[in-house]
Every structure is written in C-alpha cells, then in structure tokens.
C-alpha cells in the first residue's frame, strides 16, 4: 500500500510522491521537452487516481486538470477534491470521466500525463485519440509505468501471479507494439520509449542507487574472477579483457533482466 501511495493519509501520499526520484525524473522530462520557462504549464493528468501527481504538479504552480472516473474518496476523484480543498488549490480542476470520452475542450494542454492508467484502457485507440485531442499542437504526452507483455503466454503469467488481479480482475497489459501503434495512430510522434530499466520512472520502488549497486556488484564479481583466473601477462591485453568480460556477461545473463519481472513497466514520451 505504501509503495502504491495508498496511505489513508492522503497528504502523506502526495508528500512522498513529491519527494520521489520518479517525480523528479518526470518533471525533468517535462522541462526538457516543453522547453518551458514560463509557468503555468497546462497539464492534464488522466486516470489520476487519488491525485498524487495532479496535486504535486499543482503545488509546483502548474495549471492542472485531473481526470478520474472513480468517484472514491480514498483512491479516486473524491480524494483529489479533498486534497484540492486541503491545499486550497485554485489551479486544480477535477473531472470525473473515463479517458475514452472526456468532457474537456480540445487543443488546450501543453502536457498530457498518464500514470499507470493506459493499460486499464477500455479502448486503447480511443484513449490515445482523446489524449491527443486535449493537447495543443506540439504538446507532450507522457504515459508512465504501464504493464508491458511480450505475447499472450507472458500476459497469462503476469495476470496469474499478480497479487490483486484474482480479487478484482481489473489488471491488464499490452504489448509494446500495441502501445506504439495506438500512440502513432492518434497522431503522435514518439520521442522516447523508456523500457523497464531505462528510467527510475519505471523501476521505482527500486532506486537509482540500488540499480547502480547491482551493476557495480556484478562488475566487481567478474573483475575478481578475471584477476584470479587470467595470468598477469594476459590481463594487460585489452582484447583478452573484453573477451573475458563479454563471455562472463553471456554466461551470467543480464544483471538486470526485465523479462523476469511479470508485467514489467514501460513509459512513452511523444509529441503531438
Ligand atoms: C493504477 S491506478 C493509477 C492512479 C494514478 N495515476 C497513480 O499513478 O497513482 C489506475 C487509475 O486509472 C483509472 N482508470 C481506469 N480506467 C480508466 C479509463 N478508461 N480512463 C481513465 N482512467 C481510468 C482508475 O480509476 C485508476 O484510478
């Protein structure tokens, strides 16, 4: 519950999300691709849940519209309204709607941000068309942390091992090709595809430091074997060194292997 920002204390979820590496990385991408110096940027947060990101953006001074179909006071639009009142946010607008049909005017937003919601789409193409309709020309789409599968068998495995799917049946995942095609068909140009280990946006709750430690530990392990097994004279030859390290990498497999994570995550950054 903590890692999903589902604490009963709604403000605590916001505070923790604001301080996260994921949020910092997201804001960095927004700044980079909107090249915005002047506030307020207009951001739509679609499938906003309990409002962690919408409120964090609003507290930064962005002009935010949170779109969320669930009226719930703990995980949905009701929770966002409560936070809006708590922080007295006149720059946060809450709309109770599904992404496939949003009662919001077109060509308005600089950024459409969608965190962990695209894979819940009732209709993926319609979802993306609506996201595109809301954006002004040149605006940026960020879809963050969606489950991605390689094929039907991989999807079955993901749904079988998902801890909550057996209780509420609401989980889903698409292939990278399905996401890509829906984004392209909606008139976007994809700027970056962030696969699981490309960004802390996906690999949270791991952090950049735990990931670096894992890479460093593997490097140290191979290095120590290299020192023990290869005679000193050959160790100085760069061709021997790269042969040994490449062979070790093949034998040990990738140090970070997203294939082993059921429904690993993917994020897209695209421009209208
Ligand atoms: C996993 S939660 C993510 C919530 C929030 N974005 C976050 O990251 O904490 C998925 C959210 O998407 C919403 N959702 C599901 N289907 C949707 C749809 N078709 N259109 C818009 N939102 C949807 C759900 O109500 C839920 O709040």
Contacts of 177-185 spanning 24+ positions with Cβ under 8 A: 178/124, 179/118, 179/124, 179/143, 179/146, 179/148, 179/266, 179/268, 180/268, 182/124, 182/125, 182/127, 182/128, 183/128, 183/141, 183/143, 183/268, 183/270, 185/125, 185/128, 185/129
Atom of ligand 1 nearest to the CA of 170: 15
pLDDT tens profile 251-271 = 999 899 999 999 999 999 999
pLDDT, mean of residues 84-103: 98
| pLDDT on residue 170 | 86
Q: What is the pLDDT of residues 6-64, one digit of tens each?
A: 999 999 999 999 999 999 999 999 999 997 656 689 999 999 999 999 999 999 999 99
Average pLDDT taken over every residue of the chain: 95
Give percent above pLDDT 70 in the chain.
99
The pLDDT value given to residue 212: 94
Angle between helices 77-87 and 52-59 in degrees, nearest 10: 20
CATH class, domain 10-205+262-271, is: alpha beta
- Signed CA dihedral, 140, 59, 21, 143: sign only: negative
Domain ranges of the chain: 10-205+262-271, 208-258
Q: How far is the CA of 112 from the centre of ligand 1 (A)?
A: 14
Report field, pTM of the whole predicted structure over 0.85: yes
**pLDDT given at position 188:** 98
Residue for token pair 């992404």: 99
User: CA–CA separation, 271 vs 216, rounded Å?
Assistant: 35
Q: What is the CB neighbour count within 10 angstroms for residue 44?
A: 29
Is the pLDDT reported for residue 217 higher than 70? Answer: yes
Residue 2 has what pLDDT?
87
Ligand 1, pocket-test mutation among 13, 69, 77, most atoms within 8 A of CB? 69
Q: What is the pLDDT of residue 38?
A: 62
What is the 18 CA–ligand 1 centroid distance (Å)?
A: 19
Is residue 224 classed exposed, middle or buried when 0-12, 13-18 and 19+ CB atoms within 10 A define those classes? exposed
Cα–Cα separations (whole angstroms), residue 50 to 13, 56, 101, 151, 220: 9, 11, 20, 31, 43
User: What CA–CA distance (Å, rounded) separates 208 from 213?
Assistant: 9
pLDDT given for residue 153 in this prediction? 97
**Site to substitute for ligand 1 among 102, 120, 204, most atoms within 8 A of C-beta:** 120
Q: Are 67 and 45 in contact (CB under 8 A)?
A: yes
Spell 133-169 as b/e; 16+ CB within 10 A means b: bbbeeebbbbbbbbbbbeeeebbeebbeebeeeeeee
């Amino acid at each position: 519950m903590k890692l999903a920002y589902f604490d009963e204390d709604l403000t605590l979820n916001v505070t923790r999300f604001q301080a996260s590496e994921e949020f910092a990385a997201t804001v960095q991408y927004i700044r980079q691709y909107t090249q915005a110096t002047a506030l307020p940027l207009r951001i739509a947060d679609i499938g906003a849940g309990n409002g962690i990101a919408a409120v964090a953006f609003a507290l930064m001074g962005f002009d935010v519209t949170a779109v969320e179909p669930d009226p719930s006071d703990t995980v949905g639009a009701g929770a966002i309204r409560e936070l809006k009142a708590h922080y007295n946010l006149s720059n946060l607008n809450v709309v109770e709607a599904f992404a496939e049909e949003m009662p919001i005017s077109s060509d308005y937003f600089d950024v459409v941000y969608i965190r962990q919601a695209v894979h819940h789409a009732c209709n993926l193409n319609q979802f993306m068309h609506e996201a595109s309709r809301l954006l002004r020309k040149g605006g940026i789409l960020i879809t963050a942390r969606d489950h991605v599968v390689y094929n039907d068998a991989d999807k079955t495995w993901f749904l079988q091992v998902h801890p909550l799917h057996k209780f509420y049946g609401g989980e889903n995942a698409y292939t990278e090709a399905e996401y890509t095609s829906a984004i392209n068909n909606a008139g976007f140009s994809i700027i970056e595809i962030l696969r699981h280990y490309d960004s802390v946006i996906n690999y949270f709750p791991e952090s950049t430091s735990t990931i670096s430690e894992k890479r460093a530990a593997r490097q140290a392990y191979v290095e120590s074997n290299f020192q023990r097994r290869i005679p000193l004279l050959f160790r100085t030859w760069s061709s021997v060194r790269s042969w040994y390290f490449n062979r070790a990498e093949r034998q040990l497999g990738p140090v970070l292997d997203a294939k082993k994570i059921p429904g690993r995550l993917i994020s897209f950054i695209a421009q209208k």
